């Protein structure tokens, strides 16, 4: 199989990774994509490191069935805990969302005070702090977990009094730290960007690592000479481990378009 014609594999614990797929489609429009959402076992953010690594290994094995040329971990929790193990076990290039998000934040901050929000597991991993301080040790990082943001997004409660009250509760401690840049450390969170921005104020820069991650994907594919350049129609396939109808119904919120069909995936066999 010609390397450039192989698809890009993307996995997430659920549906939020479609924000990364959207960026891939916008920035690399001729690339085919296979997306895997582990909806039967979502959320990953409340699981132990051992479980997150185990699930992530299984997700990569599933995507490799489709001859993918690289894999994007569109899940901050998996990127935080599983990336080193995945790179150790698999030859295919694997790209996480942590380093690209950290790079973008360090570029944007003016006062060197960066906030990070994410799931409990992502925040506990301190992966963003580590990545940011490798880039610029002078930056101060302030973190907070926001476990209710994911269910708010999945319910479609993106604006309004409930989402604003929850956002204020989570974000006030970060606001008091005078952060000028905030990393949205979960692929669900960009859908709440309007509410988050209204709480923090217009001068705080919000970092969605999706676009920065796609830039890294482009670089990896160019380096391996597997960037697709033919003007051919790409193919998109979407797999989930549970509730394909529900995934299909709410996917347009994340992707900005309607998904044709969603297939149920079996991780074993």
> Could you tell me the two tokens for 100?
């690209």
User: Phi then psi for 178, rounded to 5 degrees?
Assistant: 60, 40
- Measuring CA to CA, how many Å separate 205 from each of 170, 181, 260? 17, 5, 35
Give the residue among 151, 170, 184 at the shortest CA–CA distance from 43.
Answer: 151
Sign of CA dihedral 58, 59, 65, 68: negative
Residues in the chain: 269
Contact 21, 162 (CB under 8 A): no
HSE (side-chain half, CA atoms, 13 Å) at 49: 12
Q: Which of 75, 94, 117, 141 is labelled catalytic?
A: 75
* Residue 146 among the catalytic residues: no
What angle do helix axes 244-255 and 18-27 make, rounded to 10 degrees? 50
- Measuring CA to CA, how many Å separate 77 from each of 3, 63, 67, 219? 29, 18, 25, 23
Give dist(CA 121, CA 76) in Å, integer. 9
Q: Which of 186, 200, 206, 221 is labelled catalytic?
A: 186
Active site residues: 75, 186
């Amino acid at each position: 199989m010609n390397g450039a014609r192989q698809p890009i594999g993307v996995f997430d614990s659920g549906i939020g990774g479609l924000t990364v797929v959207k960026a891939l489609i916008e920035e690399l429009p001729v690339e085919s994509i296979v997306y895997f959402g582990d909806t039967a076992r979502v959320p990953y953010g409340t699981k132990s490191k051992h479980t997150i690594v185990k699930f992530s290994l299984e997700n990569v094995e599933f995507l490799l069935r489709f001859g993918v040329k690289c894999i994007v971990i569109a899940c901050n929790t998996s990127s935080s805990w599983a990336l080193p193990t995945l790179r150790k076990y698999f030859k295919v290039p694997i790209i996480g969302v942590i380093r690209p998000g950290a790079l973008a934040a360090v570029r944007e901050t003016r006062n060197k005070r960066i906030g990070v929000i994410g799931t409990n597991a992502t925040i506990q991993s301190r992966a963003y702090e580590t990545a940011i301080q490798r880039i610029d040790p002078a930056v101060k990082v302030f973190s907070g977990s926001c476990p209710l943001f994911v269910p708010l997004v999945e319910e479609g409660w993106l604006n309004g009094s409930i989402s604003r009250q929850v956002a204020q509760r989570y974000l006030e401690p970060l606001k008091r730290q005078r952060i000028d840049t905030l990393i949205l450390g979960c692929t669900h969170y960009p859908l709440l960007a309007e509410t988050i921005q209204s709480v923090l104020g217009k001068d705080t820069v919000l970092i969605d690592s999706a676009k920065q991650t796609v830039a890294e994907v482009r670089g990896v594919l160019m380096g391996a000479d597997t960037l697709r350049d033919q003007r051919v129609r790409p193919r998109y396939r979407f797999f989930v481990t549970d509730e394909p109808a529900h995934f299909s119904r709410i996917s347009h919120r994340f992707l900005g378009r309607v998904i044709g069909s969603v297939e149920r995936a079996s991780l074993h066999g």
